[in-house]
Structure 1
């Protein structure tokens, strides 16, 4: 099943973040706990980890792109 992963909110005032690095690319296998991407807010850079196993299908927000909280940033195929 394909799942759109959304930008999480890490603080009450967080509205958006910049994607600064992708650790996985389309076609890469993903294991629970693997780092998927790094995002930067006004106050912190945070690594977002996979919450399950699968395969990266598509990146929707490229490096240096800004995403709003709740916006889909990538699509994964669950295992």
Structure 2
């Protein structure tokens, strides 16, 4: 199943963050807990881990781009049986 992963709020006043580094590229398979990307905001720099097993289909926001809280950052496929 295709799923849009959204940027979660990690700080009380956070409205957006920059995707500083992608650790996975389209086509990569990942497991729950693996780092997908890193974000930087005014008050925090952190790694964002995969919420489930899956395959990265595309980046919606490229490295260096800004994502808004609740906005899509990438598209994954959670069905690894195919």
Range into which the TM-score falls when normalised by the shorter chain: over 0.9
User: Which consecutive segments of 4 or more residues in structure 1 shift more than 6 A?
Assistant: none
For structure 2, list consecutive stretches of 5 or more residues without a partner in the other structure: none
Alignment-derived partner of residue 32 in structure 1: 32
Q: TM-score, normalised by structure 2?
A: 0.94
Shift of 1:9: 0.3
Matched, 1:21 2:7: no
For structure 1, list consecutive stretches of 5 or more residues without a partner in the other structure: none
Matched, 1:63 2:52: no
Q: TM-score, normalised by structure 1?
A: 0.97
- Output the CA distance in 2 between the equivalents of 1:56 and 1:28: 6
Q: Provide the aligned C-alpha RMSD in A.
A: 0.6
Q: What number of residue pairs does the alignment pair up?
A: 79
**Any idea what SS the aligned residue of 2:58 has?**
strand
